[in-house]
Chain A
């Protein structure tokens, strides 16, 4: 059957473009066909963006929930096969509290998960698909995929202090690139200066992987994070080799930035966030979540990402350079008329 593509909304076009990308990369569509027990979400509430969930009582009296997230269901329902790789993608409505309106919203979310023998090769493949996803939805705007290895941050923090509360405070400040408060907090808690310097050095790094990796190796030499640097280098090498092989994307939109933070109970290793010029918020979030798999008693490893289709809707509607430029044009003209 022929159809006119113009009948599709911008969001629907994005979904079709992303579905095509993921299908061609060998990923199969996953559909949630039932409601999960509320218990699944309450036990893993820190994994969710918001811990508030819409619940209802099923006909058998069980407390169920409207899904605030898809990854947890996939992890729960997928067979645990650590020797093979399951490649899945989804586009589903999720129900969670919007930070802006502080009320529940139905949000369209698309995502991709690579579960099982999800090694560094799989991580490189997922990062490549994340970058290509941004290229597809950015509509001629510039885009950046910030990549980090969250274990680097975690190992350095654990080496600084045994106190979980202090680690948590330092992690929050790391996410704000708040180096001055990190120095103060470290000094106030008698953390050795050289350990604090390692953290500050790590957070000060930003830019092209080729430029950043030698500096990272220098900062982490002889520290607990040294082995993780090799791990990150291995993923990046595989990522650029994959680019070379497939000719997909350019790789020039990748920057290393170690201020990406996540809940240490769920995430480990690679973490990444996608941004599009003109949208003030993150539009893609992903990373490795082997720790979540262990919490769910699974041996498989896992890495994936989600694309926030609702945030993409802000493209062209947000404040920023374009609006300001046109305002300045009329503003100056108005001034002249007054004179």
Chain B
């Protein structure tokens, strides 16, 4: 008998888009958007879904509570979970950038003050370009940091650039492109490889990933 695949989906807009992809591939689950339940299953489709906080998806997968999950590349780079990254789903696209106030010039005599939620990504990036930085970890409203003089620049995700423009910031440097990735637990993959590979094949057919 085929095993059920446990899938951790990120709550919110991205998770809903991902679910639609899975549904079109034949892994639909009735009533998934109704009520406030966080777990759903469809025995016929052989799948269970858990709605979890986007940044927690890699934890659920790494620790084996879910066999597979979908997380943004930004979260995977920031937390570096020990998981397989099986597919780029090509949705949830945005960019990780360095943004700065218009007219900003970098004074290399001093460490650059960088405000960000993504401490590891920012540190890795600036280490790769050999720039000394003073990192300021914030949890939200990052764009306000340069306005108030808390930082020189910010490292953050940009989708359309509207928030940056409204706060008088511009993209100073591109760090990398980001999109949603399908990840799998390294142990669980061995015991459900047939089911997971079948799902990947169906996704490939319907969503051309």
Which residues of A are in contact with B by a Cβ distance under 8 Å? 142, 144, 146, 176-178, 180-181, 206-207, 255, 259, 275-282, 318-321, 324, 327-328, 331
Contact = CB atoms under 8 A, between A and B. Distances in A.
Given A178-B84, A324-B39, A331-B37, 5 more contacts: A176-B84, A177-B84, A177-B86, A275-B187, A279-B64
A320 B65 contact: yes
Contacts, number: 66
Interface residues of B, number: 26
Interface stretch (B15-23, B111-119, B188-196): B188-196
B41 A328 contact: yes
A180 B65 contact: no
Contact of A181 (B3, B64, B83, B85): B85
B113 to A, nearest CB: 27
A146 B190 contact: yes
A279 B2 CA distance: 19
| 5 closest Cβ pairs, A-B complex | A280-B64, A319-B65, A144-B190, A178-B85, A180-B88
A279 B187 contact: yes
A178 B188 CA distance: 17
Interface in B27-62: 37, 39, 41, 48, 60, 62
A329 to B, nearest CB: 11
Interface of B: 3-4, 6, 37, 39, 41, 48, 60, 62-65, 82-88, 185-188, 190-191, 193
Contacts of A319: 60, 63-65
Nearest to A146: B190
B80 to A, nearest CB: 10
A280 B185 contact: yes
Nearest to A279: B187
B6 to A, nearest CB: 6
